[in-house]
Amino acid sequence: MRRVEKPWGYELIWAETARYVGKILHINAGQRLSRQYHNKKEETFLVQTGEMDLEIGQGDDLKTIRLGALQSFHCVPLTIHRMIAVTDVDVCEVSTPELDDVVRLEDVYGRKGTNAP
């Protein structure tokens, strides 16, 4: 298992193959990931513990979904999204393997732009 420190908490990468990746995202209460999308990466989130708001879209199309324990969301490529921890939250994320495919639209930690190839 590999731990990756993040400004909002940390990731535990527990599976990484040529076909899929499994992570646990620990997001500290009140923290948020960047508003982002992926060109190729497809992912599904399952809240293990805690509560988070999942923002989907932006501007006039923005909607917020409150997710608690054992609730999930499937995020297809090009879906603009952001996770916001209401409480400390642990999210199991299973995705295709394109870990660097991140296009950041907004980030409260000052991270810019894109990692996407």
Block mean pLDDT (10 aa), the chain, length 117: 96 97 98 96 98 96 97 98 98 96 92 65
Top-tier CATH class for 2-106: mainly beta
pLDDT the model gives residue 51: 98
Three-state DSSP class for 72?
strand
* Res 114: pLDDT: 62
Nearest of 29, 30, 84 to residue 55 by alpha carbon: 84
Distance CA 83, CA 30 (A): 10
**Tokens 């608690």 sit on residue:** 68
Cβ neighbours for 34, distance < 8 A, ≥ 6 positions apart? 82, 102, 104, 105, 106, 107, 108, 109, 111
> pLDDT at position 115, please?
60
**pLDDT the model gives residue 112:** 77
> Which residues have CB under 8 Å from 35's CB, separation 6+?
55, 58, 80, 81, 82, 104, 105, 106, 107
Q: What is the pLDDT of residue 110?
A: 87
* Inter-residue contact 36 to 104 (CB < 8 Å): yes
Predicted pLDDT at 100: 92
Give pTM, 2 decimals. 0.91
**What's the CA gap between 95 and 49, in Å, rounded?**
19
Q: What are the boundaries of each domain within the chain? A: 2-106
